[in-house]
Structure 1
Amino acid sequence: MLHELHLTRDRLGSAALDQAPRTQPLDRPDDHATGPLDADSTQHIGRGGPPPIGRTRRRRWPWVAGILLVVLLIAGGLGAWAFTAGPLGTVSVPTVAGKKQGRAVDAIQHAGLHVRVTQVFSEKVARGVVVSATPGAGDDARKNSTVTLTVSKGAERYTVPSVVGQTEAAARTAITSAHLKVGKVTHAYDETTASGKVAQVAPDGGSTQKPGTKVDLVISKGKQPIDIADVTGRPKADAEQTLTDAGFTVTFGAAQHSDTVASGDVISQNPPNGVGHRGDKIQLVVSEGPVMVSVPEVVGMSAGAAKTKLEDLGFQVKTNYPLLVPVLFQVQGQSVKADTQAPKGSTITIDVV
């Protein structure tokens, strides 16, 4: 406004400002007049009385202009102060990037500004440190305006969920909900995890990873089937080693006598054959050989009595006649000496003369 006033005054010039308005002054009536003038009267009318209106206004104008000028100067000064050192002035935003949040807030407030804080993940800036400011460092900002600080939340990391033992569908849901991705899915036998459940996960559950990291899953096919070898008739130690190497657990039942399986060899196994799984138990029964019986003395006995005695003990008896024609019908010899052990069911030959 002050600028426009000065411009208008310069355009008008001092001559125009001082020029009196063309207004005829009013004549003051003659104090001695006694009546109205005739049309043909030549009486002189004096110019006394109050000054013309136009001259009064001209003498008041400089005062009005001066007062207005003072008001405008005061208003302009106040405006200039308000927009410089006053509340409407500007300040330079301090440099706060790289500072801790608390120190950055103090610096902004000390400059006469307000603070608003937002947070973002950052791979490069440590947690709690200012990443940037808006307006930026060195920019002019109105006093009491707001500066937005962007503060780092640190690197964005998420925890791999523990999904071992879960179904594949449940594991997929948990992984994607953790801002991660499902990677390769393979299937393998597992001795401890039920079929169809997650047996392994990589990276390991509980580890922290970047968003979008692929998590591989191994789904269990259950225990691996193993063929059960038939070890009957084999020596005990050999049979046990064969089954143990295959992953089975070997137990032993009570040993039994056998007329057909040598002592120390396997008579039977349970289960006998087929398919099992690692850790399954297989029971073996080992032979003690045939039943051993003490052979009695039959020499001097009649052939019939000797045969009966030996057969009653479980032996097979074969009669031999050395002289072709028996005379005494007595036993003169036996193939197995008396008081020795012989397998039950074995054959003993007697010589009858």
Structure 2
Amino acid sequence: MVENEELQQEDGGPDRLEGRIIADRYRIANVVSAGANTVIAEAVDIEQDQPVTVKVVRPELAESAEFKRAFRRQAEVATALRHPNVASVFGWGDTELDGEPTVFWVVEYLSGGSLRDLFDRGLLLEPSQALVVGLEACRALDAAHQRGIVHTELTPSKLVFGDDSRLRVVDFGMAALIGIEAWGDPATVATHVARYASPEQALGMTVDAKTDVYALSLCLIEAVTGSVPFAGDSTVSTLAARIGKLMPVSADLGSLASVLERAGRPEAEDRYTAAEFGQALVQAAEALPRPEPFLLMEASLFAVALREKATLDELPDTPEAGADTETDEETPEPEPETDESVQDGAPEDEPLEDESSEDESADDGASETDTEIEIESPGESDSESDPEEAAVGAIVGASDLLGSDDAEPDADSVSDSEGPGESDSEDADADAGDSAGAIPLLLLTDIADAPTGAVQVADGGASTTASSGSTEEPIPTQEMPAEMVAAAAVATVGSVTETDVVDPTPSGIIYDDEDNGKPWGKILLLALVILVCLGALGYAGWLLVRTKSYEVPDLVGVEETVALNEISGNDWIIETEHERSDDVPDIDHIVRTDPAAGVILDEGEIFVVYVSDGPELRTLPELEGLTQEEALGMLTELSLVAIEVPPEFSETVPAGSVISWTVRGDASLTAGAQVLPETTIVLTISKGPEPRPAPALFNLTLDEATAATDGLQLVLERGDDVFSVDVEVGRVVLQVPPPETPVERGGTVTVQLSKGPDMVPIPDLAGMTLPEAEKALDDAGFVINSLLGTTEGTFVAISVGGEEVQPGDLFIRGTGVDLIFL
């Protein structure tokens, strides 16, 4: 990862990036596009001297620290995703665009253009061709889905071909990250993206791997028919048209129709998985004709320039050597455009043979799509060529020596280091089209590997082309087993040339009269010489055929390229596997080898190196309902980082337990998803139930008060009843705590009910003196208001409110009375 690097440019926007250098490493050659979200540029990796594609995020999208953290996490995931049909991510980092800080990432350069480029040129695919494209896309999707990665924005522009004609899916992880804000409101999504959206995206629902399957079905239908189902004039109409609708398919799709119909069903659970989609395509292939290759167009002048540079680098610096005869005519040098006719994916040192050639009539000769294997003459072989190429050259040299004098090759017929397919007629170029930069797409799914040791040998056996000098008849390809190649190489090393043949004429010294009777010494000497020669030849033969052994070095923790360079001279068959490891978390470093270090391994045996894709992914556990201590312990054990937000009240989760949790930067991830170590988990802890205000219970009956407290999950207790002049009997007079006082859930509210007024009887005062009457009235609960008469007299009468009352009459306690004493 490259950090804190500034984009070295003047003001002026993305168009001024050309010629600038990012991160002191990536020189921008050409700005391909400047969209609303990213600026895409073709560049050269100065350190590796190879073309790359640099994608810079618009600064307004990368303003927040949360986005940058999510970007780095997605970049790590994308870098670890390795598959032949997934575009490789080489690096990422921080930079500036138009003076504003942002982020960028670097992916492999793919010069073959995208499926969208084909559509824009008015080109469509046959169903069998679309099937092959779909199969390779399914392989990429399946690899990503198995790692929990969903593309979410699969369109024809994301299906890109490399110069090897193999399909790659680009922007895994990044497309979802950059598009997440727009999909928050589907109506704001760009129409060209909405055309390939799934119904669940149109409804704003959670998406999964089945969304990518739906999008791929739309791409394949467009590839054959030229139109996208459900496309409307606006984003809203485009999205609405697919909700609840079956995928429309036509008979033009052949056996693909039923497969694409299921892949594009409106309900996600009814669709294929990516793996099932690929299997269905393989089954559908049985009912389709063999796919014909189609032409890819160079994506830009940058790609054409790279191809021309590669062609010039391959041209020889000096005239070819090694021709056995001199000619009057000068052998023409190959023109650069002839190299462009070589099909990507079939390099000159590893040509491929199309299996379809076996089915064609012999009368037609080699078809224009057949790739024949040619070899150089011994004089043209590079000194650094591998042993198998040297052996093949030795076989041709031996055939020159053993052939007749008439078999010497004509200078005009000697190959000028032409690549595969360059000996074809000019009609092949005409069929390929007149467009500059056109690359014939090889359907790699249908091409078999070249047979081991296959060598092109002319009928005359003297050179790589026919001895008559005619180039009209194709030279047949004959297979030679690897054992015969090796044996012929050894035999050629020890063969005798014409200049080494001994003249059989007897020498005069053998018949000398002085030595004629004593030949045994010379015979013994000759025998000894023969034995020594035989021994030397035997030892030389043993050196050639012996199997060398080497000790396996300790490569654990070593960077992959360094490790492979260290064992490159051991002639082992290297197999590379990728796995995740916490012991070796650095990407592209060796985790382990098989066999392990210290084991003696013969050359030619299989040696497996396991390369790290980074630390092991952690499966997110379910944390809801766990106590805070349990959740923190589980996350620590998984090397995940926990942070807590302010606790919240919860009616269902006990205090101190987890109410909810999310992955910071990606709230869509749930339990069971896989994340990298050090991923941050945000925990929300419960404070328990929220206190509720005590209800107002005054003047309510006991039943009414009970219902009010039960609704708030409070407990009602009844205290002692009290007298009340104002409240009817049986209604609440007092409550504790008072209304609106916070009470914990399950807390108690105490009430006292009214017993009504406190009524007391008038006491009998007959015969009492004033002091005796006062005491009796006070004990009974009455108050003396006035006294008429003398204090020395005796009781005469008692009245309340001016009316005379009799003993036993009931009045409210505290009622005032008037007395008469005479």
Q: TM-score, normalised by structure 2?
A: 0.25
Q: Which has the higher strand share?
A: 1
Larger relative helix fraction: 2
Instruction: Name the TM-score, length of structure 1 as normaliser.
Output: 0.48
